[in-house]
Chain A
Amino acid sequence: MSNVFIALQTNEDTRQIIEAIVQDNPHAVVNEQPAMVKIDAEGKLVVRRETIEELIGRSYDLQELQVNLITMSGNLDQTDDEMILYWNA
């Protein structure tokens, strides 16, 4: 299965989001680059609202992610609770 990825700006907003992604996706590989963090994962990557909320201690709307997003790869499906990136093949 191919890798999907998501890249976020390196800043104080994304520090815990990245932590949440790593918690929810043990197979994900974090790759720190100049000013950005790229997270690769084989097949599928899930960003969960609840995990982020636990880490940041406030309610969070997954659409806020838009502000710090750099790029991504894979088919996307977003709901109130999850943002999923996946390949079918």
Chain B
Amino acid sequence: MFKWRSDDFSWVDFTIDVLRVLIVLGVVVGAWNTLSSGRISFAQWVNLFAAGLSQGSIYALIALGYTLVYGILLMINFAHGEVFMAGAFSTVFLAEALNRTGFLNEQPVLAILLMIAFAGLVSMSVAILLERIAYRPLRGSPRLVPLITAIGASFFLQYTFRGLYGSGFKAYPGVKALQGVIQIGGISIPVVQVFVFCAALLLMLCLYWLVERTRVGKAMRAVSENKEVARLMGIDIDWVIMFTFGVGGFLAGSAGVINGLFRPQGVNFYMGFIPGIKAFTAAVLGGIGNIPGAMLGGLFLGVIEAIGPNLVLAGLGIPGANQLKDVIAFTMLVLVLIFRPQGILGERLSETKA
């Protein structure tokens, strides 16, 4: 940073440095203006933060699928948003049925576990089929080829599910046990947001344990390190890759149900697109290929999106700040990539991985 010595002065570096200073200045001024005006109370900030954390933990769960696959195959599975949609969209019917019979409100824990298991299975099957049919035959080909295939697969999945379930919007039924708020000293946080955060955290811990503490996790890490050597050590690479897709799919499917509890509306065949893009952003933010990075990146993105518009943009006097939520998210991505190209937790990757 800041290489302004006369012998290697470059206008490009200079402009980027000025840009960095301006952006940091804008953030500080905007935040200062908002906070000093006191338009939004402390309780409201906490509410926004909590909602952002919940949204972020959903992003994180989806982002893990991107990062797992990237870690092993060095490819971006752009159809992963659709894997999320597959679980969420299929389970809405199960949830409706459970609600009709009254099981959902009598045994909420069992019912939610059942929904997560079902969504996880659906998404897992979709992810595994995707790998087997669309990606494995192309494994040796140039890296652009599976990328384009992934985009094609994404459309294929969207319109398959539209054909299966129709194009209308569905909504998850409300769970009585998750309605209501937790009061902590004048601040009220909806129970569902606490639940969403805890459930996502639990799933992420399970994944961490799986990757770091089990035999199959060791195999995954070995394949990610070097496929050929792993093969020589007797690891069934095809199986490990399929397993990785399956795990990513399961996390995406459970994210679908958790998302359904948090934001019940808007379930349709197109619902995976935006969360998919956001989760990919989160994975890059945290350092793609890095598991704790994806978790952190997701939470970070969710919170920034929730707080950023009201904190920074409204403070700078920009009208319609809430509409610029995505601008904040992607500006954040650009900023992180300028300051730390490898992502928040990313290591510097070797040439082959970058």
Same assembly = no
Q: Which residues of A contact B (CB under 8 A)?
A: none
